[in-house]
Amino acid sequence: MTQDHLTAPTPAPHHGPAERTTSDLRKAAVSGWLGTAMEFMDFQLYSLAAAIVFNEIFFPEIDPAVGLIAAMATYGVGYVARLAGAIYFGRMGDRIGRKRVLFLTIALMGASTTLIGVLPTYAQVGLLAPILLVVLRLLQGFGAGAEIAGATTMLAEYAPVRKRGVIASLVSLGTNTGTLAATGLWAILLAVLTEDQLLSWGWRLPFLFSFVLMIFAIWIRTHLKESPVFENRADVTDEGVALTRAQLEAAAAKEKDASVLEAALKQRKGRSFFIALGLRFGQAGNSGLIQTFLVGYLATTLLLDRSIATNAILISSVVGFATVPIVGLLGDRFGRRPIYMALTAISAVLAFPLINLIQQGNTVALTISMILLHNLAVLGLFSLESVTMAELFGARTRFTQLALSKEIGGILATAIGPIVAAGLTAATGSWWPIAAMLVVYSLITLVSAAVSPEVRGRDLVRLEDAV
């Protein structure tokens, strides 16, 4: 085998355009929605279990308060694993294709979640029980780190240009589906089982139920065709593997018309990534404040019944089944930038009056205010995020950059936001820091959208980033 063969495999522009039928698009849509639903269901199942039962099942020999902290720490390690998964599976998805990686991520997530349901308890095996729990949590997060980025990439690359926003928004609907399913499962268990039944065997049922969804999701993805964009890329060989940078340089030198390959080699790196990071930072930060911190603040600081805030979020999630596709449609009609800027500007303007209404404690006003904030500043932005970030990146590194921007932005904003909010509200004895942080997060996304190019309808086969 010659060196030329090693460094310059035949690129694939001569394949002809890869075409997909409506049936193929439908399978991709179901696959993306189901995978995201599983991801959010698995993490919500785990977070609720960590808060409700894991301190007694896996950490019973220590002080209850410390046991709760330890249980929540096992929840937190999953976020570290997500970043590692984003790097590993993202690069793999850009190199060997979206389909094969999505098969691996869904199998890893589903298997890890199911195995949590058959773990031995501390009473049965001692310290081995929490160790195994952490291992499975790490594996679960490792798979989840690239799942939503991969599903978003696949669906955006499948969708017709004029309907790309609304179709890609189906991935966002998976977040609502998964969160509602997990919350509903735990609500049923808490309603029908005694505490002894819950602690002895009932807590296992939601995790075992994940096995059914995993089998269905694997079946769907087994019958899913590769992304047509990946197959049409100028840097993908006849064998379906992307060229390395050295191979790309060699191929560009040999091709008579190598402008496409050279554009990928010469593009400026980083600007699209930081724009995407800003878009993600605002949405994730608002999510952490509204869905996590505000719920606890109302219960612990304002001493309201915890069910008031959680019910408001549940109702808002149902409303989101309408909000998310509508925002996707608006993005397709008017462009991503103007809708991003409108949503973030409205969120910033309404932050102080709506948080003021929420902290007054009136159930109806609180519920309506949380629904408005949640749908504008979280779900609406998430709908736009699903397609905009995919369009910002070139086909050569789309999967990797999308996964990293989502995970880095999410970890920083979601992890730091509630901690900062807790410190500021405690120091000031007031609610205004919550509103101020919502304004800051929304403005970060507003500025990011303002400096971003309009990417609606961009050719996703292009190898280079939008900027």
Residue-level pLDDT at 240: 81
Residue-level pLDDT at 16: 46
The amino acid occupying position 463 is L
In angstroms, what CA-CA distances link 323 with 113, 311, 380, 461? 30, 18, 7, 29
| Average pLDDT of the chain, as a whole number | 85
Residue ranges in the chain modelled with pLDDT below 50:
1-16, 256
Residue-level pLDDT at 6: 36
Residue-level pLDDT at 373: 95
Residue-level pLDDT at 204: 94
- CA pair distance 397, 149, nearest whole angstrom: 12
* 213-244 tens-digit pLDDT: 889 889 989 889 999 999 888 788 877 888 77
Residue-level pLDDT at 342: 97
Give the count of beta carbons closer than 10 Å to the beta carbon of residue 364.
8
Residue-level pLDDT at 3: 38
Residue-level pLDDT at 93: 93
Residue-level pLDDT at 265: 63
First to last CA, the chain: 39
* 259-292 tens-digit pLDDT: 666 666 666 668 999 999 999 999 999 988 888 7
Q: The tokens of 110 are what?
A: 């589903």
The domain spans of the chain are 21-226, 265-451
Second CATH level (architecture) for the domain 265-451: Up-down Bundle (1.20)
Residue-level pLDDT at 11: 45
Contacts of 341 (CB under 8 A, 6+ apart): 446, 449, 450
CATH domain 21-226 topology: Growth Hormone; Chain: A; (1.20.1250)
Instruction: Tell me whether domains 21-226 and 265-451 share a fold.
Output: yes
